[in-house]
Structure 1
Amino acid sequence: MSNQLSKIKVYTAGICSLIVTAGIARFSYTSLLPLMQSDAGLTEVGGGWLATINYLGYLVGVLIVSNLNNLTHKYLLYRLYLVLAVVTTAAMGLTTDIYLWAILRFISGICTSAGFIIASGLILKWLVHHGKRGELGIHFSGIGLSIFIAAILVEILLRLSVGWQYQWLYLSLMAIVFAIPAWIWIPNPARNMDSLVANKVKDCPPSKVFTWVIMAAYFCAGYGYVVSATFIVDIVEGIPSLTGRGQQVFILLGLAATPAVLIADRIARKWGYLMTLFLAFCLQIVGIMLPTLSANLIVIAISAILFGATFVAIVSLVLTMAGHFYPSNPAKFMGKMTLAYGVAQIIAPASTGLLTAWLGSYNLGLYLSAGTMLIGTLLITYLIKRDEIP
């Protein structure tokens, strides 16, 4: 019973870390982007560059984690990032200087690695060494939940006519609440060092070809994810018949993402990781393309559900697979995979912002996003034919 309770606490810590570092420090920007454009003078190009700088920060965070082998140092860095995520969120509402915003978005991007990479590695390591199934679906359900919770708060504050500055401050207060269990219950590797030494696990690294191809496919997934994830609220708000519905669509996206990772885990047990990834890539392409085909609310809602359900599932599946290849140090290979994903995240928002400013529409950005995902699907198909996954 106590072991089960420990498992619940560990997963709760991971989910809360994602709510703080992903939902609030990162995805709340998506919710507040239209408001900052209308009330704070942020342009479409500026909005795209701030998103790019945030993802650049995430890439730097991943690089830092990838080069850290000491688990205790990772644990301390995780706690530092929780604090910085709260501080940078609050500070976004205290200035209108785009250069200061850029610095804050960069730091908050670095902090995102705490939930995605450090917490993932600590949790997966804890699960493996306690004889439990090494799956991260429950942990990554926190991404969808984090989007949902942050978007709900923003929607409530919008209805109360709260300005964008105070919205950032309220979000930071909510981050403090979730940071407490994230701080207290994440597994401390120093306390389990004896058991980690006693229970050595064997790595089973993939071939170089597999590694490079899966990284290329994950790069495609990163590009496919970031356009819709960054601009979905602004895309919906830009449709005259759907003005005021952007936040609701984003809430729906978060709701769809929450159980999707658990479903993906179950499908992967039956079909394997690569077949499940192939299915997720195909469905995400449909989700990305639908807003370019119709402005109907039902179609947009289906798009949000498909996109939300698949982008988190792809992250969870790839990082879980990485953990199975290197159970002795899962965060290291997770970091390499996330570098590929992160590079795409840097390219996509700025280019999409520029294209939208020039053309007055997000459609070309969405076409490029879907086309990149199609390339990723072909790469996954090649890996399936190789039949290498253990």
Structure 2
Amino acid sequence: MMSSTFPVFRDDHARAAAMSGAVAMAAAMGFGRFSFTPILPGMISELGLSASASGLIAAGNFAGYLVGALLAALHWAGGRERQTALAALAANAVLLALMAATDNVLVFTFVRFLSGVASAFAMIFTSSVVLGHAARVGGERIQSAHFGGVGVGIAASSALVYAIGQIAPGAWRLDWLAGGAVSLAAFVLVLVLLPPMVTGSSAPQREPRLVWTRQFSRLVLSYGLFGFGYVVTATFIVAMIRLAHLGASVEFLSWFLTGCAATLSLIAWRPLMQRLGLGGAYLAALALEAVGVAASVLVHGPVAPLLGGVALGATFMVITAYGLRLTRDLAPESPRRAFALMTAAFGLGQIAGPLVAGSVAEWSGGFTLPSLLAAGALALSALIALPLRLSEK
């Protein structure tokens, strides 16, 4: 019999949903989307990739994620969420391994685009299954375990790349193959553990047309700027450390600590959110992330990227989660339409971020100016969203 200390896991399906959700998010997001960050420096060193080419490859992945998210919103997979999630996780593993099969920038970009689509499908359809079980048992711990898997995957990808670098320096192809192998193992675990979809008693109703209000418009613009601001550090932080010659241990720690902070962020921010409200916590997280992004280039020595990594990990999942919860509050009659619009704004921001950062880095000779532009975008995002907090008082 399960202990009453953990009532959320009082049945097998709830426990399996939490475990499989965490594993799926670690594979699809931590590896599928974000393992490019620790692998990129090796690709730059061995292939001579420019900053703009690196930004193009990253933008390809984010474009794929946007396309996948918008396709998933069309409800074509109704009743087949579990099967679609599993197919996407299998594709994610294959596409990670395929990155080792070429050295052409355009092929890299296309493979990463497909990987972005797979990551989006895996995240959205796995979440449909897992969060259905969370709602059934009223368990926030299932949600925390599920989304905490992103941070676990980020930390694990950093540790894997570091370990391979100690054995075979510069073996970036092996990094991708190992990431694909880990993701394949994750697929097998999810195949075994992921419970059936919780089915509702009625079909989803057609939503009315989205009503634009001044507050919702502010949130959409703010969220798009957040997508631009976070992604510069999330894409280039390890490459920045390599260029500064701070050592492999700092490269590892910066991304590893990012993942650790992301794993605990939603749990750690909950008391502050209850005190400040959703709008207040959203603003506070944006402000902290802006400071962290600026500190990653303005503070000297190895502590700078560590501060930047921890601040990024402690905030980006929180801003995402609270931004979407605010969306539901501001557009309660049309949440699916509002979520799709927020996804589009965020997606456009994170596609533009690597492209702009890569070009500016080539022009300026480093990532200081792109990082300061990103910090400015985050500060502007918070300023635009300030009335959301004021309206809660």
TM-score (norm 1): 0.89
Q: Find the residue that maps to 2:225 and give its secondary structure.
A: helix
Mapped contact 2:210–2:334 kept (Cα < 8 A):
no
Aligned twin of 1:211: 216
1:120 aligns with 2:151: no
Aligned twin of 2:51: 44
Aligned twin of 2:191: 183
| Distance (Å, rounded) in 2 between the aligned partners of 1:85 and 1:332 | 27
Q: 1:279 pairs with 284, 296, 306, which one? A: 284
221-230 vs 268-277, which moves further: 268-277
Mapped contact 2:56–2:354 kept (Cα < 8 A):
yes
Mapped contact 2:81–2:126 kept (Cα < 8 A):
no
Q: CA deviation at 1:296?
A: 1.7
1:345 aligns with 2:350: yes
TM-score (norm 2): 0.88
1:170 aligns with 2:184: no
1:259 aligns with 2:264: yes
Q: 1:76 pairs with 73, 83, 86, which one? A: 83
Q: Residues 331-382 of structure 1: CA distance to partner in whole angstroms, max 9, x if unpaired?
A: 6644432221111011010111111111111111111111111121112211
Q: Find the residue that maps to 1:72 and give its secondary structure.
A: coil
| Distance (Å, rounded) in 2 between the aligned partners of 1:141 and 1:159 | 28
Q: CA deviation at 1:73?
A: 3.7
Structure 1: gaps spanning 5 or more residues: none
| Distance (Å, rounded) in 1 between the aligned partners of 2:216 and 2:128 | 19
| AA in 1 matched with 2:32 | A
Q: 1:386 pairs with 383, 386, 391, which one? A: 391
Q: CA deviation at 1:168?
A: 1.0
Q: 1:102 pairs with 93, 104, 109, which one? A: 109
| AA in 1 matched with 2:182 | M
1:197 aligns with 2:201: yes
| Distance (Å, rounded) in 1 between the aligned partners of 2:78 and 2:115 | 22
77-86 vs 147-156, which moves further: 77-86
Percent identity at matched positions? 24
CA distance 1:70–1:96, shift in 2 (3 Å):
closer
Q: 2:315 pairs with 305, 310, 326, which one? A: 310
| AA in 2 matched with 1:371 | G
Structure 2: gaps spanning 5 or more residues: 3-8
Aligned twin of 2:31: 24
314-323 vs 17-26, which moves further: 314-323
Q: Find the residue that maps to 1:107 and give its secondary structure.
A: helix
CA distance 1:289–1:356, shift in 2 (3 Å):
same
Q: Residues 202-250 of structure 1: CA distance to partner in whole angstroms, max 9, x if unpaired?
A: x999963233222211111111110000000011111134566222211
Q: CA deviation at 1:280?
A: 0.4
Mapped contact 1:253–1:307 kept (Cα < 8 A):
yes
| AA in 2 matched with 1:316 | A
Aligned twin of 1:368: 373
| AA in 1 matched with 2:251 | G
CA distance 1:326–1:125, shift in 2 (3 Å):
farther
| Distance (Å, rounded) in 2 between the aligned partners of 1:198 and 1:251 | 44
Q: Find the residue that maps to 2:201 and give its secondary structure.
A: helix
| Distance (Å, rounded) in 2 between the aligned partners of 1:96 and 1:303 | 30
Q: CA deviation at 1:265?
A: 3.0
| AA in 1 matched with 2:292 | G
| Distance (Å, rounded) in 2 between the aligned partners of 1:150 and 1:283 | 25
